[in-house]
Structure 1
Amino acid sequence: MNLQAAQNLIQDAGVFFSRSEDATGAGRSQINDSNWIVVDQTPGVGVPIGEGDAVLSVVKLDEPNNC
């Protein structure tokens, strides 16, 4: 799922602040959220979250990933 869609789902659940990070470790900023895909998340699926708890690890669409 792309980063924008994941953020939309989080917001639909009532949480309006989530974070994203470059899963490659290069520290790149996610300027255009639809150009990034989520490859991991903290906390895991089904764990209740509050504002700022969700951290989405992402890579660019054209980069190799395990998803």
Structure 2
Amino acid sequence: MTGTVLQDAQDAMQALTGDPFFVTLSEDASGQGRMQLMDSNWIVCSQTPAAGEEFSEDTIITFFAVKIGETC
């Protein structure tokens, strides 16, 4: 999901799993500890698990993002 808008990444994960209650986490990739209140204003820099890795319903998926216009 790297390079996508955080909201789009979250929506894609829900669509992929077919579960509207599927939860993903997000963190400020800048290290400033900011909250992602408007997910549509953030861009995904990286994620865990990494792209291509397998996951299950017990896996905690975290997107690391910065505000649109900032550098990862």
Instruction: Work out the percentage of aligned pairs sharing the same amino acid.
Output: 42
With normalisation by structure 2, the TM-score equals 0.81
- Taking the aligned partners of 2:33 and 2:10, their CA distance within structure 1 comes to 19
- Taking the aligned partners of 1:52 and 1:31, their CA distance within structure 2 comes to 23
Contiguous gaps of at least 5 residues in structure 2 = none
Which deviates the most, 45-54 or 18-27?
Answer: 45-54
Q: CA RMSD in A?
A: 1.4
CA contact (8 A) 1:19 1:52 kept: no
Task: Give the ranges of 4+ consecutive aligned residues of structure 1 lying more than 6 Å apart after TM superposition.
Answer: none
SS of match in other structure, 1:63: coil
Quote how far apart the aligned CAs of 1:52 are: 5.3
2:44 matches 1:41: no
With normalisation by structure 1, the TM-score equals 0.86
- Taking the aligned partners of 1:34 and 1:59, their CA distance within structure 2 comes to 11
2:11 matches 1:8: yes
